[in-house]
Structures are given as structure tokens and as C-alpha cells.
Amino acid sequence: MSGERERLRLLQATAQEIVAGLPSWDGESPSVLVTVVDPVTRQRLGHWMVPATAATPQPQPRPGSRHLRAVRDVS
């Protein structure tokens, strides 16, 4: 079980690093909700509000984060 906790901790750290590269939301402008989900367990790793203009271009994959990718929620 500790191996799974460590894997989730590393995924959460990677998600936070990716979102840290996005502009901060000012609380008033149009925004989007960025949610990061573990692709194996479908567990939510975190969610953040970012300005809608930051969501337009897809971020380039970073080395070591090949399992995380941006997808559009169509629901």
C-alpha cells in the first residue's frame, strides 16, 4: 500500500508543477476548472481555477509527465 501512496504523491507533485506554470486566476475574469485525474485509479489528484485565456493553448508535455495529458471534458 505504501508504494501506491508514493505513486499518488509523485503524481500530485507533478500535477501541481504543471498548474504552477499557468497564470493565477484573479477571481473575477472568465475561468476554467483544471482537474487532474490519476489515469489508473480515476482518483482526482487536484483541481484549480485558471483564467480561460490560459486554457486555450494545450501545454506541451514535460519530461517525466508522459502519463498526464490535457483532455477536454465533453459532458
> What is 33-65 written as a DSSP string?
EEEEE-TTT--EEEEEEEEHHHHSSPPPPPTT-
pLDDT band at 65 (very low <50, low <70, confident <90, very high): low
CA–CA separation, 11 and 8 (whole Å)? 5
- Cell numbers describing residue 72: 477536454
pTM of the model: 0.56
Return the amino acid letter for 11: L
Over residues 12-37, the pLDDT tens digits come to 888 888 888 888 888 888 888 888 88
Residue 32 phi, psi (nearest 5): -130, 155
